[in-house]
Amino acid sequence: MSTPKMVTSRLGFEDSFTIDRYVKTGGYQALRKALKMTPEEVCAEVTTSNLLGRGGAGFETGRKWSMLRANPVRYLVVNGDESEPATFKDRMLIERDPHQLVEGTLISAYAIQATQAFIFIRGEFALGLERVLGAVNEAYEYGAIGPDIFGSGFSVDLVVHPGAGAYICGEETALLESLEGKRGYPRIKPPFFPAVIGLYGEPTVVNNVETMSNMPWIISNGGAAFAALGAGRSTGTRLFALSGHVKQPGNYEIEMAKSTFRDLIYNPDLGGGVRRDNKVKAIIPGGASAPWFGPDQLDLHLDQDEVAKAGSMLGSGSVVVMDEETCMVRAAWRIARFFHRESCGQCTPCREGSGWIDKIMRRIEDGYGREEDLDLLMDACDNIAPGVTWPPQQTTICVLGPSIPSSVAWSIRMFRDEYLIHIKEGGCPFS
């Protein structure tokens, strides 16, 4: 593959996380370049690149920045709370190239003229926290953080903030609450955008780690070079986290929109095929919230809009492959259980519905299901996200609620027979 490596170029080095290696491989040149541009020019490059946010929602980064309310105080918060099941790309970027993240954050902070920047890192990333803390200390000494960065007159502090274990803090307003030292409760909307009312009520941009890590390349090579890759709105490269029943699970940086799920799974340089050369039974694109795809949908391109049109989402860029030996009930139950354990508990449908669905699914998997349970499950899903459509109708404060039905409802729709076998045989045929 001749696609440039925008965020994974240093991973071949053992010492990729040190400032020495970083500077030797061109590190902090993009920041120096950006500081010589006006903030508006930096923003323009990002807008030209059409970089879509890499956290899951895929919002245009340039547009998000342009929505910032004019205010003497502005914050930049980097979302490194990666907790989406089967998503492990940010952890790699955090641990293996922390300076790239720091540099990207500083470029962005300059672009939006942030008065302070925070990198919120998932608390469980012990090594990641050590690496980014170390990088911030080094970068400060190097003159890249703090007062008068590289003599440019621009000053900003960058604080590494550890999380403490709660999936919901990946939701940007919950993350802000958590960063304010509160329970990680997503905020009610309106106000709809942190860009208007964010951290401490001030205008705030929240961007994902991978989004930030793209900034040095975009500034060094220009937004147009980034936009030249990919297709349509899906520009540049993207990290895909491939896991499940593939021979070579891992993170793969590939050009957006050019490859298909099949390529990702079977290409010898990528997934390398399914274990024991089994058949694919289903895949989960884009995280636990995404409706599943069957083997007939593997030729869809890894393109945000194409996948959305097909009824699911590229989301966090993760792909879980499940082969023919997998119990679909058990798989769907485990995702339901995840939402049950991670619901923040604010909204009744999510708090109570997730637990109920978990219990019913578990009962079916254990062989105590009743046929009417399938209707009950679908109706409970309908009471959480009316219509059980994709994209879902949201009647809760955040999108965790409407995410619950995806695995349950889609697995019932796709594999109803398998549920009925569980019910009729009084147990799981796969165990």
Partner 1 sequence: MTDDDKFLIKIDGADYEASPGELIIEACDKAGVHVPRFCYHPRMKPVGMCRMCLVEVSGPRGMSLQPSCYMPVQPDMEIVTESDKVKKAQDGVLEFLLINHPLDCPVCDKGGECPLQDQTLTYGPGESRFVEAKRHWAKPIALSELILLDRERCIQCARCTRFAEEVAGDPMIDFMARGDSTEVNIFDDNKFTSYFSGNTVQICPVGALTATPYRFASRPWDLEQAESTCVGCATGCRMVIQSSQDKLIRYLGIDSDPVNQSWLCDKGRFGYLANYAESRVVTPQVDHQEVSWKVAVDHVARAIKEALATTGPESIGIIGGSRLPNEDAYAWSKLARSVFGTNNVDAQLGDGLDPEVIVGLPKATIDETCASPLVVLVGPDIKEESPILFLRLKGAIDRGTTRVLEISPNPTSMTKYSAMSLFHRPGEAHLVVNSLVTPGPTKAGSGAGLPVGGVELADIDRARALIEDSPGVVFVLGRASMADSAQIVTQCASKVRENLPGARFLTVVRRANTHGALDCGLSPNLLPGRMTIDDARGYYEGHWGQVAQGPGMSTGEMLARAAAGSMAVLILLGADPVSDFPSRSLAKKALESGALVVSVTSHLDESAKLAGVILPTTTFGEKGGTTTNFEGRVSSLSRKVTGPGQAFDDWTVAVLLAKELGGDLGFSSQQDISEEMERVVPLYSNLKPHIWTSLAQSDGVVIPLYGDRVVPRWFDPIATPGIASLVHHPLRPGTGVDKESDPVRGESLPQVPARVEFSEVSRELSIPTLDAYSLRLMAPKVLYDRGVLTEPLSGVERPGSVLRVNHYDLDRIGAMSGDRVRVVSSAGAHEAQVEVDDSISKGTALVAFNVPRSEGQVLAGDLIGYGELVTDVRLEAL
Partner 2 sequence: MGGFTPDNLVKAKEIIGLYPKARSALIPLCHLAQSQDGWLTPEAIVEIADLLDLAPAEVKGTASFYDMLHTEPVGRYLVGVCTNIACMLGGAYELLEHCEDRLGIRCGQTTKDGKFTLEETECMAGCDGPPCVTVNYRYFLGLDNQGIDQLVDDLEAGRLDNEIPPHGTVYRNSRNVGLTASPTQEPQAGGKSSQIAQPTPTKRGAK
| Sites of contact with partner 1 (CB under 8 A) | 166, 183, 188, 190, 340-349, 351-356, 359-360, 363, 376, 380, 382-384, 386, 393, 395-397
Residue closer to partner 1 by CB (options 186, 230) is 186
Count the helix, strand and coil residues of the chain and give each as a percent rounded to the nearest 5.
Answer: 45, 15, 40
CB of 387 to partner 2, least distance (A): 25
CA–CA separation, 188 vs 185, rounded Å? 9
Residue closer to partner 2 by CB (options 159, 224) is 159
3-state secondary structure of 301: strand
Picked from partner 2, partner 1, none, the partner binding residue 361 (CB below 5 to 8 A depending on kind) is none
Residue closer to partner 2 by CB (options 63, 161) is 161
Residue closer to partner 1 by CB (options 231, 376) is 376
3-state secondary structure of 379: helix
CB of 322 to partner 1, least distance (A): 26
CA–CA separation, 378 vs 49, rounded Å? 42
Token readout for 233 is 């709105």
Cβ-contact 91, 126 below 8 angstroms: no
3-state secondary structure of 372: helix
Picked from partner 2, partner 1, none, the partner binding residue 346 (CB below 5 to 8 A depending on kind) is partner 1
CB of 3 to partner 1, least distance (A): 37
Residue closer to partner 1 by CB (options 100, 343) is 343
Helix (H) or strand (E) holding 254: strand 250-255
CB of 258 to partner 2, least distance (A): 23
Cβ-contact 78, 102 below 8 angstroms: no
Cβ-contact 224, 46 below 8 angstroms: no
Picked from partner 1, partner 2, none, the partner binding residue 376 (CB below 5 to 8 A depending on kind) is partner 1
Question: Which residues in this chain contact partner 2 in the complex, by CB under 8 A?
Answer: 82-88, 90-91, 116, 122-127, 129-130, 133-134, 136-137, 140-141, 145-146, 157, 159-167, 178-184, 200, 241, 243-245, 249-251, 284, 288, 318, 320, 322, 326, 330-331, 334-335, 338, 341-342, 344
CA–CA separation, 10 vs 2, rounded Å? 16
Cα separation values, 369 from 158, 353, 429, Å: 53, 18, 14
CB of 292 to partner 2, least distance (A): 11
